[in-house]
Amino acid sequence: MNGHLAQIWRHPIKGIGAERLDHVGLHPDRPLPLDRAWAVLEEGGEAAEGWRACRNFVRGAKGASLMAVRARVEGDGVHLFHPDRPDLFVIPGTPEASAALIAWLRPIYPADRRPPAALVKAPPTGMSDVPYASVAVLNLASLRALSERLGQSLDPRRFRGNLWLDGLEPWAEFDLVGKRLRIGEAELEGIERITRCRATEANPETGQRDAATLAALEAGWGHSDFGFYAMVRRAGRVATGDKVTRI
């Protein structure tokens, strides 16, 4: 396998905002640092501590406009940017943060959905869509293949991945499920393929649905999977440009 790490992304608040990084340190049995470290509970969602299923939270599959949110972590706080909202800075964990974020989200979240109710802290394993400390690994060649089938260029942010690989054949990432790979100083184990939802149909620049990604995956390849979940097995720094090898 002759690939490299092309992009690194994190999403401090589940479903709300993406931030691109040049490098990051990974730790065993933990998500990418500050990825899905917080989530916005919908009214009526499970209020128990710990990991909860995605149905409980505000997210892009339910409100396409959320896909246009960008994020930037600064110290203990998070800056959020959206084309239709004023810039917002919140410090999660403070009483003011939850109220400010909910007020900011309401105008861009569908009125027919359960409204955002509270900003909640994720467990140490994060609040991804699976109940373990996942790192989402994706393949830019697969993104190009899907873009070609749709006849439009797809922004990687649609898929809310963490580590984007390049230099592989399209869909070669699925061969890494059940295997170990080394990226920079870190080692990861592929756990399972990621089945996609309607969040991927929304354009991250506009927050409007403009691509039938799920239909294209089914028509072209007979599934709606894109990328895979991995778990960190050996700590280490990873950076864009790092070589990726199968162990």
Residue 45 and residue 21 share a domain:
no
pLDDT of amino acid 118: 96
Residues of the chain by 3-state class (helix, strand, coil), percent to 5? 20, 35, 40
Return the amino acid letter for 242: D
Residue-wise pLDDT for 93-137, tens only, equals: 998 999 999 999 999 999 999 999 999 999 999 999 999 999 999
Which pLDDT score is estimated for 115?
97
Which one of 121, 154, 181 terminates a domain?
A: 121
Query: Among residues 121, 147, 165, which one ends one of the domains?
Result: 121
pLDDT of residue 34: 97
Residue 54, domain extent = 38-121
Last residue of a domain, one of 89, 121, 153: 121
How far apart are alpha carbons 182 and 193 in whole angstroms? 18
The pLDDT value recorded for residue 95 is: 84
pLDDT the model gives residue 226: 98
User: What's the total number of domains in the chain?
Assistant: 2
Element containing residue 40 per DSSP (H, E): strand 38-42
Please indicate, yes or no, whether residues 154 and 205 belong to a single structural domain of this protein. Answer: yes
Contact 57, 13 (CB under 8 A): no
Q: Does residue 25 share a domain with residue 138?
A: yes
Q: Are 230 and 178 in contact (CB under 8 A)?
A: no
- Residue count of the chain, please give it: 247
Task: Sheet containing 70-74: give its strands across.
Answer: 70-74, 77-82, 85-90
Please state, in angstroms and rounded to a whole number, the distance separating the CA atoms of residues 107 and 109.
6
Residues in the chain, pLDDT under 50? none
Helix (H, G, I), strand (E, B) or coil at 224: coil
Same domain, 23 and 141: yes
SS3 assignment for 76-141: CEEEEEECCEEEEEECCCCHHHHHHHHHHHHHHCCCCCCCEEEEEECCCCCCCCCCCCCEEEEEHH
Which pLDDT score, from 0 to 100, does residue 141 have?
98
Q: In whole angstroms, what is the distance from residue 202 CA to residue 212 CA? A: 9
- pLDDT confidence of residue 2: 84
CA distance readout (Å), 56 to 4, 16, 42: 36, 14, 6
Say what the pLDDT of residue 1 is. Answer: 79
